[in-house]
Amino acid sequence: MAESEVLKLGARPLRLADLRRVYAGPVTVAIDAQSLGAVREAHAATLRLAAADAPAYGINTGFGLLAQTRIAPAQRTLLQRNIILSHSTGVGPLLDDAIVRLTLVLKLASLLQGFSGVSEELARFLERLINAQLMPCVPAQGSVGASGDLAPLAHLSLSVLGLGEIRRHGEVLPAAEALAQEGLAPLALGPKEGLALLNGTQVSTALALAGLFELEGVYAAAVVSGALSLDALQGSDAPFDPRIQHVRGHDGQARVAQVYMALLAGSAIRESHRTCTRVQDPYSLRCQPQVMGACLDLMTQQAGTLLTEANAVTDNPLIFADSDTVLSGGNFHAEPVAFAADILALACAEVGSISERRLALLIDPKMSGLPAFLAADSGVNSGFMMAQVTAAALVAENRMVCHPASIDSIPTSANQEDHVSMATHGARRLLAMTANAWQIVAIEFLAACQGLDFRAPLKTSPRLAAAHALMRLAVPFAQNDRLLATDIEAAARTVRRDEVQALARELLPSYR
């Protein structure tokens, strides 16, 4: 493998493009040799703190409400093992490999910063786990987002002990067996190592990043489908004039309006009605820069928050080797991630909502001037009638789960952990929401292509014609009713295609 293809960890901060790559598929990582100096220094400091008389939380004491309990030296290895076992209480479906892989990379990157006190041996173990594509089986439910993602990270950490289960190339195996097949042996954990593994925000951050990356794809497809719908509906491109955007001043609005103008440039359909008597289009067409621009700004802001968190050290306590100091704080509290997830959920819901409203215009002959429900022979054919109902159902479902998770704190651990972030399930719901949004946009895209076909012989713009052609490679024009669910499935694959995504990709935070 070329050196440029290896993701170096510890040499520099992670970038969004790095994290997108980790989410997209298996990667090879390599620990930067220079970063190991800080790891060794912090580990040596931890060993000194463990041997000292002064209490050091999680090193020679118990955890949480048991922080006042001193642990005898002979029991400290057992302490680190026991915290992993006792905290492995997750339930529900397993996290996908993409989420687990992203979590492992985030955890390793955090440990390499040299404030967690772990050994080089543990860092090397995680490196080999990632490179061998050994993905610990991690139940999705059980974290409240403080003290970090305790339950899911505990399940992740079981693999270090040779316990639990691991997915190896799609096959679920006992962890000890999967490790042995790759020549890996379980570790006996030293002071603080168990706590460093399971304390932190890496699971909620990985889930939120996955939601961001999926939403970026939905967003790019929605910009293209919005332009297709506007042309099929003989809408005006005047609302995209840069002078309008300039006097309001929002960056996202101006940038997305520019992309809409570029997508529509050269449309014969647009030129055919430039002098028509219609003064204004409905808001779902006319206000696309304002709505989609606001969503883009939110996505960009939350991408920054999540990138900061991806490069953060979020376990507790922290080791400052230069002064042999151990400080107990609250970096594990995932409030920034919870807020980011809540805001991304709002953006996702709005992208789907305005897409469905354009779809509703397309099937309404009073608004579109097209055949009812886009059926060539409506009456005997129902056309896209039920497709819009499906889209409406998905919009409603997304609205239902938009309640902010971050305000739903509930006390845990005998009131020691009395305010929590709920970041983990707040972020996890993003993947369900984006899955719905992909389908909504795919249905609109499909309907817009049907509408454009009814405008023949007038042609859309060259860029939109290319997008239309891609859809027609997968789904032919619907002359008569047929099994539309199959068409929707094909449309959902089409809107993910790189050629479609590239038409609006320049807007997306992780590609900038």
CB-CB contact of 349 with 399 (8 Å): yes
Single out the catalytic residue among 57, 219, 260, 511.
Answer: 57
Q: Which residue shows structure tokens 């669910």?
A: 485
Return d(Cα 312, Cα 343) in angstroms, integer: 21
Using CA atoms, how far residue 93 sits from 23, 98, 152, 232, in Å, is: 19, 14, 12, 42
User: Is residue 417 classed as helix, strand or coil in its secondary structure?
Assistant: strand
Q: Which residues contact 146 (CB under 8 A, 6 or more apart)?
A: 330, 332, 333, 334, 335, 417, 419, 420, 421
Handedness of CA 240, 245, 250, 255 (dihedral sign): positive
Return d(Cα 382, Cα 481) in angstroms, integer: 7
Beta strand 165-168 pairing with 171-174: antiparallel
Strand order in the sheet with 171-174: 134-136, 165-168, 171-174
Name the residue type at position 491: A
Q: Cis peptide before 317, with omega less than 30 degrees from 0? A: yes
Token reading at 180: 């042995």
Among 454, 445, 452, 435, which Cα is nearest to 491's?
Answer: 445
283 is catalytic: no
Among 332, 315, 323, which Cα is nearest to 42's?
Answer: 323
Measured CA angle at 251 (ends 248, 252), to 5 deg: 105
CB-CB contact of 170 with 133 (8 Å): no
User: Is residue 165 classed as helix, strand or coil in its secondary structure?
Assistant: strand
Among 199, 204, 42, 22, which Cα is nearest to 113's?
Answer: 42
Catalytic residues: 57
